[in-house]
């Protein structure tokens, strides 16, 4: 039987056989490093194959210890206050409360002991253990059980919230079918996608999603790329074009030749990137973790002080009363709300960005994007489409256009620049009969080669200046990108090539200005072209005719003004500039593996308008994180004072701990629901 997934035009799965899977990010520090309540890790690996009923059962299992404890506690309270049976007293009553405590208390006590064994003495587990066992010691059994019960329920909700955030991101990205249909000697057969060999021909029916990267063998095909770019508009591919795992075939049956192994597909790399994103901690997150390590032992010693110091100053000192206050103080001071909700806030921001086709390589870059004051951008491929077309060819008298064009086409075949592609499209296939020797690319200038013993130069006019070739035109009088040609030390002529400004480029600059962010364009292209594009888009500053080292100097000048800088490029090939900038943003991440590996932020669909969206997501994430910090500190500070003064009971302590944690979690996960 063929188990295939079908999708509608928006990428929604029509026949659901794949479950929501909860996973832990590989190689990254887990958001929750403990088992919730029951003492078991209920997370699953991405490929565990559990069905919906199993996942649902595991969620019920999460609450089972708390449910047992709750039933026993409510029964005990009822017998204490309403039913009052004669046998419910002394050791029976104590034993009943102990039994109701164990399902939720034992896992926490176990975690506390494991932490102590590892040298992590002052943990939230130890705080809860001391507080609840202390409550039993002073015979406050119901409150001791209730504190641990609510704590356990809070931990379960935290676990589910983190799991939901992770599985939401996974649902956005890891939508590869497990099986593919391949053609073998003209016959189709279904195999596991992981078993497909490079070179195999995949048959993709309308509505099916591709499981591997490949190139289109059919003459043409339309694909929905929403899983990769967030853009549901069909993308038409021609024979030989790259088709990526996760794309959905829209109409006719398509044949694709596999070019990449399943585990090395672009989608696999993107998924791995997002799964590992939380390994890069934001400064706020790192501060809170360090703060918790210092804060927790301080409150333990303060609690001891609250219990014992009044003995020397209070005339009618009652140990049990001051011990109770100290225990309340311990419960209130538990840093759960901070330690859990802040990483979850950043993970929510990463998830929201992924849904918008923006990949952050770490939560630290969310913070960095929020603080960006100046965006420095490349021109070609970033603000322009990078699709050049030859406009005209002007040669000096005495030169044969066809012969010169063959030479130019041959030398440009050694370059991957979009200009070379434009020349190849204009001139046709490279004439292999043309012989060139010693082809050399001169950074920021162009290409040099030897043709029949004569030096051939093809590039910008700076290349001609470098080799002292005289020319009789003013390059600045030409608006378009110009390719100068020289042969045997003589100026042959030039070609003009035009690029197209991206449809959302002007909107991008407007949105950046609304955010109070400056925009500067740096390009190796001629100054007149750069000035023209900058004027059309409303860019603040623009500089052309720049060599790579010139770009570095310009960025240094901007950073000298104490402005945080983001650099945006279409291939992140300006490595020195990327190293200097606070955030490196890559356009067109789907086109380059190196881009995904090098950039801090990857915009998947080539749209510059995603730059201000990335900044807004960073700002909103930071805002939510700070709200959580403020809420936790204010509530805890108030209840701590009340607890130390004997005005707050364990019930207020529970709200200050678990209640604040749940509110902070709800605030954090709403980032994923926001529209940017």
Domain boundaries, the chain: 179-261, 359-384+501-617, 389-498
pLDDT at 623: 92
Per-residue pLDDT, 30: 31
Asked if the model's pLDDT at residue 464 lies above 90, the reply is yes
The whole-number pLDDT of residue 27 equals: 29
Q: Which of 2-6, 577-581, 600-604, 642-646 has the lowest mean pLDDT?
A: 2-6
Q: What is the pLDDT of residue 420?
A: 82
Q: Kindly report the average pLDDT of the chain as a whole number.
A: 79
Compute the average pLDDT of residues 571-588: 74
pLDDT beyond 90 at 540: yes
User: Phi and psi at residue 675, in whole multiples of 5°?
Assistant: -105, 130
What strands, in cross-sheet order, belong to the sheet with 446-451? Answer: 389-395, 490-498, 481-487, 454-459, 446-451, 437-442
Torsion of CA 200, 201, 203, 209, to 10 degrees: 60
**In the predicted model, is pLDDT for residue 295 greater than 70?**
yes
pLDDT value, residue 168: 56
Q: Is the pLDDT of residue 425 over 70?
A: yes
Confidence of residue 394 (pLDDT cuts 50, 70, 90): very high
Strand pairing class (179-184; 446-451): unpaired
pLDDT of residue 590: 56
Phi, psi for residue 421 in degrees, rounded to 5 = -65, -40
The confidence band for 169, taking pLDDT boundaries of 50, 70 and 90, is low
> For the ranges 379-393, 551-565, 619-633, which has the lowest average pLDDT?
379-393
Q: What is the DSSP string of 583-651?
A: EEEEE-GGG-HHHHHH-SEEETT--TTHHHHHHHHHHHHHHHHHHHHHHHHHHHHHHHHHHHTT---HH
DSSP assignment of 208-274 equals: BB--S-EEE-SSEEEEE-HHHHS--S-EEEETT-EE-TT-EE-SS-EEEEE-S-GGGSHHHHHHHHH
Tens digit of each residue's pLDDT (9 = 90 or more) over 149-160: 877 877 777 677
Over residues 390-395, mean pLDDT: 91
In whole angstroms, give the CA distance from residue 545 to residue 446. Answer: 12
Beta bridge partners of 494: 394, 484
User: What average pLDDT does the segment 250-270 reach?
Assistant: 82
Residue bearing tokens 């759960």: 336
**Best CATH choice for the domain 389-498 from the list 3.40.1110.10, 3.40.930.10, 3.40.50.150, 3.40.50.10580:** 3.40.1110.10
Beta bridge partners of residue 565, listed in sequence order: 374
**What pLDDT, on the 0 to 100 scale, is given for residue 59?**
67
Task: Report the residue count for the chain.
Answer: 676
CATH for 179-261 is 2.70.150.10
Q: Which of the two residues, 195 and 4, has the higher pLDDT score?
A: 195
Mean pLDDT of the 396-422 span: 88
Specify the pLDDT at position 641: 81
Q: Which position has the token pair 């980032």? A: 671
Q: Which residue has the higher pLDDT, 440 or 640?
A: 440
pLDDT for 277 beyond 70? no
Is residue 24 scored above 50 in pLDDT? Answer: no
Out of 3.30.450.20, 3.50.50.60, 3.40.50.1000, 3.20.20.10, which CATH number does the structure's domain 359-384+501-617 have?
A: 3.40.50.1000
pLDDT at residue 282 greater than cutoff 80: no
* Average pLDDT over every residue of 485-491: 95
Q: What angle do CA 344, 346, 352 make, to 5 degrees?
A: 100
Q: What is the pLDDT of residue 493?
A: 95
Mean pLDDT within 565-587:
78
pLDDT tens profile 3-14: 444 444 444 344
Assigned token pair, 599: 């950039």
Residues of the chain above pLDDT 70, percent? 81
**Within a 10 A sphere around the Cβ of 329, how many other Cβ atoms?**
27
What band does 673 get if pLDDT is binned at 50, 70 and 90? Answer: confident
Where residue 431 falls among pLDDT bands split at 50, 70, 90? Answer: confident
Q: Do domains 179-261 and 359-384+501-617 have the same CATH topology?
A: no
The answer, yes or no, to whether residue 517 has pLDDT greater than 60, is yes
Q: What residues are labeled active site? A: 378
Question: Stretch 544-565: mean pLDDT, rounded?
Answer: 87
- The segment with the largest mean pLDDT, out of 117-126, 426-435, 648-657, is 426-435
Of 68-77, 99-108, 592-601, 604-613, the one with minimum mean pLDDT is 592-601
Reported as a pLDDT band with limits 50, 70 and 90, residue 119 is confident
pLDDT of residue 494: 95
Q: State the pLDDT confidence band at 93, using cuts at 50, 70 and 90.
A: very high
DSSP letter at 379 equals S
Task: Output the pLDDT for position 19.
Answer: 24
Lowest mean pLDDT among 90-104, 127-141, 333-347: 333-347
Mean pLDDT of 324-342: 75
- The three-state secondary structure class of 520 is strand
- Choose between 10 and 526: higher pLDDT: 526
Closest CA to 603 of 253, 270, 293, 357: 357
Confidence of residue 226 (pLDDT cuts 50, 70, 90): low
Nearest to 381 by CA among 441, 430, 422, 426: 422
Residue 315: pLDDT above 90? no
Quick one: average pLDDT of 357-381?
88
Q: Which residues pair with 555 in a beta bridge?
A: none
Predicted local distance difference test score (pLDDT) of residue 364:
85
| Rounded percentage of the chain residues whose pLDDT exceeds 90 | 25
pLDDT band at 227 (very low <50, low <70, confident <90, very high): low
Could you give the C-alpha distances from 306 to 152, 322, 327, 462, 647, in angstroms and in order? 26, 7, 9, 78, 14
The answer to whether residue 82 scores a pLDDT higher than 80 is: yes
Which residues is 39 bridged to in the sheet?
none
Model pLDDT, residue 12: 39
Give the pLDDT of residue 534: 93
The H or E element that residue 159 is part of is helix 141-173
Q: How confident is the model at residue 22 (pLDDT cuts 50, 70, 90)?
A: very low
CA–CA gap between residue 341 and residue 667 (Å, rounded): 9
């Amino acid at each position: 039987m063929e188990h295939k997934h079908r999708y509608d035009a928006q990428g929604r799965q029509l026949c659901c056989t794949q479950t929501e899977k909860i996973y832990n990010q590989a190689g990254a520090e887990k958001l929750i490093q403990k088992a919730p309540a029951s003492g078991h890790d209920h997370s699953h690996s991405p490929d565990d194959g559990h069905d919906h009923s199993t996942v649902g059962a595991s969620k019920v299992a999460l609450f089972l210890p708390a449910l047992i404890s709750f039933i026993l506690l409510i029964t005990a309270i009822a017998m204490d206050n309403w039913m009052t049976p004669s046998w419910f007293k002394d050791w029976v009553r104590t034993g009943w409360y102990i039994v109701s405590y164990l399902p939720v208390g034992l896992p926490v006590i176990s975690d506390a002991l494991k932490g102590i064994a590892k040298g992590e003495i002052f943990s939230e587990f130890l705080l809860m253990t001391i507080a609840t066992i202390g409550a039993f010691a002073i015979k406050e059994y119901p409150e001791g059980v209730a504190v641990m019960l609510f704590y356990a329920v809070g931990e379960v909700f935290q676990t589910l919230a983190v799991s939901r955030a992770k599985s939401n991101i996974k649902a956005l990205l890891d939508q590869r079918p497990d099986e593919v249909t391949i053609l073998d000697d003209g016959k189709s057969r279904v195999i596991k996608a992981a078993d497909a060999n490079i070179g195999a021909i995949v048959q993709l029916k309308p509505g099916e999603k591709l499981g591997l990267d490949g190139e289109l063998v059919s003459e043409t095909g339309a694909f929905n790329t929403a899983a990769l770019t967030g853009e549901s508009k069909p993308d038409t591919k021609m024979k030989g074009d790259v088709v990526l795992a996760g794309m959905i075939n829209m109409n006719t049956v398509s044949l694709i030749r596999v070019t990449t192994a399943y585990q090395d597909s672009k989608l696999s790399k993107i998924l791995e990137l997002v799964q590992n994103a939380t390994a890069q901690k934001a400064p706020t997150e790192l501060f809170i973790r360090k703060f918790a390590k210092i804060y927790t032992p301080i409150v333990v010693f303060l609690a001891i002080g609250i219990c014992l110091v009044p003995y020397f100053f209070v005339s009618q000192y009652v140990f049990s009363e001051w011990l109770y206050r100290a225990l309340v103080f311990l419960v209130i001071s538990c840093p759960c709300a901070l330690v859990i909700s802040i990483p979850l806030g950043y993970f929510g921001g990463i998830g929201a960005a992924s849904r918008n086709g923006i990949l952050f390589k770490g939560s630290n870059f969310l913070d960095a994007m929020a603080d960006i004051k100046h965006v420095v951008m490349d021109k070609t491929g970033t603000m322009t489409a990078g699709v050049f077309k030859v406009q005209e060819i002007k040669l000096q008298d005495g030169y044969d256009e066809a012969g010169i064009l063959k030479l130019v086409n041959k030398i440009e075949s050694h370059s991957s620049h979009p200009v070379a592609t434009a020349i190849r499209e204009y001139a046709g296939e490279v004439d292999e009969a043309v012989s060139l020797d010693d082809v050399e690319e001169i950074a920021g200038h162009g290409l040099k080669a030897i043709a029949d013993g004569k030096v051939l130069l093809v590039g910008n006019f700076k290349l001609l200046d470098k080799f002292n070739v005289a020319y009789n035109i003013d390059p600045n009088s030409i608006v378009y990108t110009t390719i100068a040609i020289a042969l045997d030390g003589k100026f042959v002529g030039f070609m003009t090539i035009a690029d197209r400004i991206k449809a959302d480029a002007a909107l991008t600059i407007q949105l950046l200005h609304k955010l109070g962010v400056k925009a500067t364009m740096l390009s190796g292209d001629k100054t007149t072209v750069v000035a023209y594009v900058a004027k059309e888009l409303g860019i603040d500053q623009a500089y052309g005719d720049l060599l790579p080292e010139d770009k570095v100097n310009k960025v240094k000048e901007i950073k000298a003004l104490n402005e945080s800088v983001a650099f945006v490029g279409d291939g992140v090939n300006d490595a020195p500039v990327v190293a200097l900038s606070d955030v490196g943003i890559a356009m067109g991440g789907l086109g380059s593996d190196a881009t995904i590996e090098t950039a801090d932020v990857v915009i998947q669909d080539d749209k510059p308008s995603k730059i201000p969206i990335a900044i807004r997501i960073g700002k909103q994430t930071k805002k939510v994180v700070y709200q959580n910090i403020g809420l936790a500190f204010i509530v805890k500070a108030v209840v701590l004072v009340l607890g130390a003064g004997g005005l707050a009971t364990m019930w207020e302590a529970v709200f200050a701990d678990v209640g604040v944690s749940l509110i902070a979690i709800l605030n954090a996960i709403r980032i994923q629901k926001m529209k940017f």
